[in-house]
């Protein structure tokens, strides 16, 4: 009964979003919705695919809807209104372990593209002990990333810091400015902008090379059964958007400016380069990264401990595209 109530609740949310966000092209059926978990650089691919009309090229026109965090998006997927989620892997791992039919069909970022940004007085990890660090929401990708990095640097995320959930990246940066928190985790360009304002980047996590399913495309077993061709076309448009960004620097910078609200030339260039650094253009999931996500989720959802990375991925569409020479042609 509780799950039914949640499904109805998120169905109402999606319905309200649809009322205030008109689509350019409507199909005869319900609109095809792609949910994106938060305004971050690694989520820019969806907006490129839409604005550059790459999905329309493949005869689909998903509506892109922005959510505050991957955990909220995962719950909205359960309602059935959202057909694709562009999020981080732990949300899929947690949902599927608990009975949802969510499944990863591609991963375009297989590492953590974040930075830990701290108050001006904090320059070392030891100074972070006993302090407050903000994430988006518990169970989100930012939550998992913070816990993994803290452990890597010898800190206990439960005992050594207080983790607070404060919503979107801009909200967390505002809290850092106000002195309400001591640190947060953000992606470019907000980490670079914060540095220019005198805050410290304690670590650029992307440089650590930790395998992790940061930007995954998730759908459901049911949607794969009902509309496999739509899944394949969605992946085509998304993959082409990743290549488009690499080959169309100026246009991509304009989109980054539009959606991530930065126009500083130095920050914009560094943001664009970070995009190139973390993108996996063939969409192949890193199974060790998914293993890392499973291990982290298992702390909250013990049933995940018995799962294998292969339980959370469906690679048939990537295999088909590879066999057809799609990725090879894109690379040209």
* pLDDT tens sequence across 120-162: 999 999 999 999 999 988 877 788 889 889 998 999 999 999 9
Model pLDDT, residue 9: 36
Q: Which two tokens stand for residue 70?
A: 């991957």
Beta carbons within 10 angstroms of residue 217's beta carbon: 26
Q: Is 22 a residue whose pLDDT tops 60?
A: no
Residues 223 and 189 placed together within one structural domain of the fold: no
Residue among 214, 174, 202, 169 nearest 188 (CA): 169
Q: Is 17 a residue whose pLDDT tops 60?
A: no
Predicted confidence (pLDDT) per residue in 205-231, tens digit = 988 888 999 899 999 999 999 999 999
User: What percent of the chain is predicted at pLDDT more than 70?
Assistant: 89
How far is Cα 76 from Cα 64, in angstroms, rounded to an integer? 14
Residues 84 and 151 placed together within one structural domain of the fold: no
Residues 85 and 24 placed together within one structural domain of the fold: yes
pTM summary value: 0.77
Mean pLDDT computed over 168-182: 92
Residues 233 and 327 placed together within one structural domain of the fold: yes
Counted domains in the chain = 2
Q: Is 26 a residue whose pLDDT tops 60?
A: no
Mean pLDDT computed over 55-60: 96
Residues 95 and 227 placed together within one structural domain of the fold: yes
DSSP assignments along 141-155, one per residue: HHHHHHHHHHHHTT-
Model pLDDT, residue 14: 38
Model pLDDT, residue 39: 64
How far is Cα 119 from Cα 102, in angstroms, rounded to an integer? 38
Residues 129 and 204 placed together within one structural domain of the fold: yes
Question: β-strands 33-37, 82-87: how paired?
Answer: parallel
CATH number where 138 lies: 3.40.190.10
Last residue of a domain, one of 185, 208, 231: 208
Bridge partner residues of 204 (DSSP): 115
Residues 237 and 166 placed together within one structural domain of the fold: no
Q: How confident is the model at residue 21 (pLDDT cuts 50, 70, 90)?
A: very low
**Three-state DSSP class for residue 113:** coil
Last residue of a domain, one of 179, 208, 237: 208
Last residue of a domain, one of 151, 181, 208: 208
Domain extent at residue 251? 2-111+212-331
How far is Cα 330 from Cα 332, in angstroms, rounded to an integer? 5
How far is Cα 109 from Cα 106, in angstroms, rounded to an integer? 9
Are 11 and 79 in contact, with CB atoms under 8 Å apart?
yes
Q: How confident is the model at residue 232 (pLDDT cuts 50, 70, 90)?
A: very high
Residues 39 and 133 placed together within one structural domain of the fold: no
Question: β-strands 132-135, 183-186: how paired?
Answer: parallel
Residues 303 and 251 placed together within one structural domain of the fold: yes
For residue 259, what is the DSSP state?
Answer: H
- Is the Cα dihedral 127, 132, 138, 143 positive or negative? negative
Q: Which two tokens stand for residue 71?
A: 């955990």
Residues 220 and 153 placed together within one structural domain of the fold: no
User: What percent of the chain is predicted at pLDDT more than 90?
Assistant: 56
Helix or strand holding residue 203 (H, E): strand 200-204
Residues 9 and 33 placed together within one structural domain of the fold: yes
Residues 126 and 69 placed together within one structural domain of the fold: no
**Three-state DSSP class for residue 314:** coil
Model pLDDT, residue 69: 67
Are 73 and 35 in contact, with CB atoms under 8 Å apart?
yes
Are 297 and 220 in contact, with CB atoms under 8 Å apart?
no
Residue among 195, 191, 172 nearest 41 (CA): 191
Over the chain, what is the mean pLDDT?
Answer: 85
Mean pLDDT computed over 252-275: 82
Pick 30 or 96 by higher pLDDT: 96
Phi/psi-derived region of residue 154, left when phi > 0, alpha when psi is between -120 and 50, beta in every other case: left
Phi/psi-derived region of residue 179, left when phi > 0, alpha when psi is between -120 and 50, beta in every other case: left
Are 271 and 265 in contact, with CB atoms under 8 Å apart?
no
How far is Cα 316 from Cα 102, in angstroms, rounded to an integer? 15
Q: Reply yes or no: is the peptide bond before residue 127 cis, omega within 30 of 0.
A: no
């Amino acid at each position: 009964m509780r799950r039914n109530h949640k499904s109805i609740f998120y169905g109402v949310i999606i319905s309200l979003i649809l009322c205030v966000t008109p689509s350019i092209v409507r199909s005869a059926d319900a609109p095809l919705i792609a949910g994106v978990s938060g305004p971050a650089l690694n989520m820019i691919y969806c907006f490129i695919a839409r604005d550059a009309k790459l999905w329309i090229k493949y005869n689909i026109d998903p509506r892109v809807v922005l959510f505050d965090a991957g955990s909220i998006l995962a719950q909205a997927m359960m309602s059935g209104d959202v057909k694709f989620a562009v999020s981080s892997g732990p949300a899929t791992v947690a949902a599927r372990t608990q009975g949802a039919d969510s499944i990863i069909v591609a991963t375009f970022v297989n590492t953590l593209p974040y930075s830990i940004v701290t108050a001006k007085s904090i320059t070392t990890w030891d100074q972070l002990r006993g302090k407050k660090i903000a994430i988006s929401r518990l169970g989100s990708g930012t939550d998992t990333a913070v816990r993994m990095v803290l452990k890597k640097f010898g800190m206990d995320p439960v005992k050594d810091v207080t983790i607070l959930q404060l919503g979107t990246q801009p909200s967390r940066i505002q809290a850092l400015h106000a002195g309400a928190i001591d640190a947060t985790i953000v992606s470019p360009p907000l980490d670079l902008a914060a540095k220019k304002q005198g805050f410290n980047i304690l670590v650029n996590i992307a440089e650590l090379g930790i395998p992790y399913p940061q930007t995954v495309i998730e759908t459901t077993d049911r949607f794969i059964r009902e509309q496999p061709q739509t899944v394949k076309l969605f992946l085509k448009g998304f993959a082409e958007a990743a290549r488009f960004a690499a080959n169309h620097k100026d246009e991509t910078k304009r989109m980054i400016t539009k959606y991530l609200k930065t126009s500083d030339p130095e920050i914009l260039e560094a943001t664009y380069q970070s995009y190139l650094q973390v993108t996996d253009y063939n969409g192949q999931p890193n199974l060790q990264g998914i293993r890392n996500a499973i291990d982290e989720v298992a702390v909250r959802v013990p049933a995940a401990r018995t799962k294998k990375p292969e339980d959370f991925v469906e690679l048939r569409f990537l295999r088909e595209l590879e066999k057809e020479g799609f990725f090879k042609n894109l690379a040209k």
